[in-house]
Amino acid sequence: MARPLIAAALTALMLLAACGSGEQEPVEAQRFSLEAARRMPSEPLLSPDTKAAGWTVTADGQAIDFGLTGEKPMMTLACDLRAAPARLLVIRHVTGRPGAKALFPVIGNGTISRFKLDAALHGGEWRWEGALPASDPSLDVFTGPNSLEATLPGGGSLQIASSRIPGEFINWCRAGGRVQRVEAAEKATDAKAPAQPSSARPAR
């Protein structure tokens, strides 16, 4: 009985030595919160109740949040005016695992758009987000007058009531942010300005 045990022990030592002698492949480091990783859901989430949810403009005016008043947003559309051309970020506030990817279909206004999202760490929050040019026609799904349904695999579906806010925000971002406001102010100023007197001298 002793010989088989000795042979097994020698075999295990040889395997460990072989593993330790090889060069390891480089691994890309990524910092993340262990506490956040522990809270990552292992089972699909139920669709939240969105009957009382709506869109609100963030304090900086660069994004709109969909959710319940006073609570963490369920979804965000953010405009990045620093990019050229401007970019639109689609964010779903559901915890995702590092390195995961998903298609985020949004259905409404006679069309369906599928946005590519990645699980990303932002400000201590794991969330799903994807960026694309503000001019991308897939964003037109947000610009119509009808209700929307946005489904994240494993994260439930959002039933979004009809609202003019998403469409106005998309158009605002596409126009470069302040462009529309400046043009509107100029038109209002021109409309209020008194008519200039004619330079021609009256006939005697």
Please report, to the nearest 10 degrees, the dihedral formed by the alpha carbons of residues 48, 53, 56, 62 taken in order: 20
User: Any idea what DSSP says for residue 110?
Assistant: T
pLDDT band of residue 98 (cuts 50, 70, 90) is: confident
Mean pLDDT of 82-95: 95
Residue 177 contacts residue 81 (beta carbons within 8 Å): yes
Q: What average pLDDT is seen over the chain?
A: 78
pLDDT tens digit string along 151-177? 999 999 999 999 999 999 999 999 998
Task: State the residue range of the domain holding 160.
Answer: 56-186
Q: What is the pLDDT of residue 192?
A: 59
Q: Which residues does residue 80 pair with via DSSP β-bridges, in sequence order?
A: 87
Instruction: Reduce the DSSP state of residue 79 to 3 states and report it.
Output: strand
Q: Residue 8 above 50 pLDDT?
A: no
pTM of the predicted protein model = 0.68
Q: Residue 144 above 50 pLDDT?
A: yes
If phi > 0 it is left, if psi is from -120 to 50 it is alpha, else beta; for residue 124 that is left
Q: What is the pLDDT of residue 4?
A: 45
Residue 129 contacts residue 95 (beta carbons within 8 Å): no
22 domain-assigned: no
191 domain-assigned: no
* Domain total in the chain: 1
Residue 180 sits in a domain whose CATH number is 2.60.40
152 domain-assigned: yes
105 domain-assigned: yes
17 domain-assigned: no
pLDDT tens digit string along 47-79? 999 999 999 999 999 999 999 999 999 999 999
Q: Residue 104 above 70 pLDDT?
A: yes
76 domain-assigned: yes
16 domain-assigned: no
**Cβ-count burial of 55 within 10 angstroms (0-12 exposed, 13-18 middle, 19+ buried)?**
buried
- Give the Cα-Cα-Cα angle 135, 141, 142 (nearest 5 degrees): 85
**Cβ-count burial of 94 within 10 angstroms (0-12 exposed, 13-18 middle, 19+ buried)?**
buried
pLDDT band of residue 191 (cuts 50, 70, 90) is: low
Q: What is the pLDDT of residue 189?
A: 52
pLDDT band of residue 123 (cuts 50, 70, 90) is: confident
- Give the Cα-Cα-Cα angle 63, 67, 70 (nearest 5 degrees): 95
Instruction: Reduce the DSSP state of residue 31 to 3 states and report it.
Output: coil
How far CA 9 is from CA of 21, 176, 177, in Å, comes to 19, 70, 70
